[in-house]
Structure 1
Amino acid sequence: AFVEVHVATSIEECERRDRKGLYKLAREGKIKEFTGISDPYDVPQNPELQVETENVDVDSCAHQVLLKLESMGLISG
């Protein structure tokens, strides 16, 4: 089974979380074709689940995914 999960996070938050400094390098032009910076990011049109990750802890996000998989009958609770 394929389940599309959109992990929704602003570009600003992605940059804040970027431990490797890839967004900074992309903004400096040192990384070409970087999604969200020099290449477009296409938001999924009909994901089975959209998880907003800003101001939400990782456990809550993971719980949302597990609940969705359970509701789809892909895992048991």
Structure 2
Amino acid sequence: MSMTVTRILAEEAAHSELPMPPWLFGVIALVAFAFLLGVTWSFRGTAQKYVRPTDHGQGDGQDSPHWPEHPAHH
């Protein structure tokens, strides 16, 4: 009996139609990848914003206690 049910389900699945045209799956994938590219692109330069400034021979090489210089840091 289980083989009969399996065969009926397999035949039914073989004749089922896609919920939309096949080319639309490709369009949706391209739009999704373009969106993810936009998200990735929005973070460009973020690492550079948080790089510690280099100490060009000034001081003893220790970081300033007020790094980064910002009006809110006193």
| TM value normalised by structure 1 | 0.28
Larger strand proportion of the pair: 1
Larger helix proportion of the pair: 2
| TM value normalised by structure 2 | 0.29
| Bigger Cα Rg | 2
